[in-house]
Amino acid sequence: MITTKENRLSPIKDEQYKQFERDGYLLIKKGCSSDLIDAFNGHIYDIRNQSEVPAWAACEESKKYSLRLFNPHKHDSFSRQLMKLPIIRGVLAQLMGKEANCVQSMYFYKEPGSPGQAAHQDYYYIKNDPMTMIAAWIAMEENIDIENGCLWVIPGTHKLGLLPHGAVKNLEEHESWTEETEGTDLSKQIPVEMEKGDILFFSELLIHSSNKNRSQNRWRRSYVCHYIREDSFVTQREDLRVKYPLY
């Protein structure tokens, strides 16, 4: 097992560190192998495709493979292993300056026709002190593009501080139970199209969103984990207090 700082990967170069500082996000191409992704997609599918679904993953029959599964890492060891990928651990340690711990995971099925998430900053939902949170968004699909509901970001908005969030405006496009940043110029959003295995790291203050999956038959699966620095704590969300080290 890799436990020491000396043995940890340091995958990013100075230029990439600066890019993250400037834009609030960094895309690592092919950070995860296709085989591993296929195995994980199959595993997640199997969790609900059995006669007795574990209580933590239980849902209505019609929603078994729909939209998203919250926090599989809390209950499932394969989900924890993927959350700890050495490249993720290494990139986060370089960006944070210390080891990262995971506090949340989400597996998105995002089947055709399902809504996206309105523009927001993750810190609005997960307050942490000191503020150190970074998300790693792994593309679990060969093509993640505008049609099937890729992520959109507004570069540099992580420097704006926490913005007010209010009711979601476009319910045709976005999930209704979430909230949306107010007064944001959404014309500045750019799509982040990704290939299977690409990993997008982004700051908790970066404004990002996704649109409805408008494809006929292409899912937009992704595995998204949120991490804080090892000396940081989630302050308000009782459900996300437990910190999972990456070694």
Ligand X SMILES: O=C(O)CCC(=O)C(=O)O
Binding site for ligand X (CB under 6 A): 108, 116-117, 122, 135, 151, 208, 210, 222, 224
CB of 1 to ligand X, least distance (A): 28
234 three-state secondary structure: strand
In the bound state with ligand X, the residue whose beta carbon lies nearer, of 79 and 222, is 222
In the bound state with ligand X, the residue whose beta carbon lies nearer, of 94 and 178, is 178
In the bound state with ligand X, the residue whose beta carbon lies nearer, of 71 and 222, is 222
Is 167 exposed, middle or buried (CB count within 10 Å of its CB: 0-12, 13-18, 19+)? exposed
CB of 61 to ligand X, least distance (A): 24
CB of 219 to ligand X, least distance (A): 12
In the bound state with ligand X, the residue whose beta carbon lies nearer, of 156 and 191, is 191
CA angle 223, 161, 226 (to 5 degrees): 20
In the bound state with ligand X, the residue whose beta carbon lies nearer, of 84 and 208, is 208
| CB-based closest residue to ligand X | 210
CB of 67 to ligand X, least distance (A): 9
Q: Burial letters for 43-55: b for 16+ Cβ neighbours within 10 Å, e otherwise?
A: ebeebbeeeeeee
Cα(129)–Cα(174) distance, rounded to whole angstroms?
29
CB of 107 to ligand X, least distance (A): 10
CB of 43 to ligand X, least distance (A): 20
In the bound state with ligand X, the residue whose beta carbon lies nearer, of 94 and 104, is 104
The two three-digit tokens of residue 64, written as one number? 């078994």
Backbone dihedral region for residue 19 (phi beyond 0: left; psi -120 to 50: alpha; all else: beta): alpha
Quick one: which of 200, 207, 213, 209 has its CA closest to 145? 213
Give the sign of the dihedral formed by CA 145, CA 146, CA 149, CA 150: positive
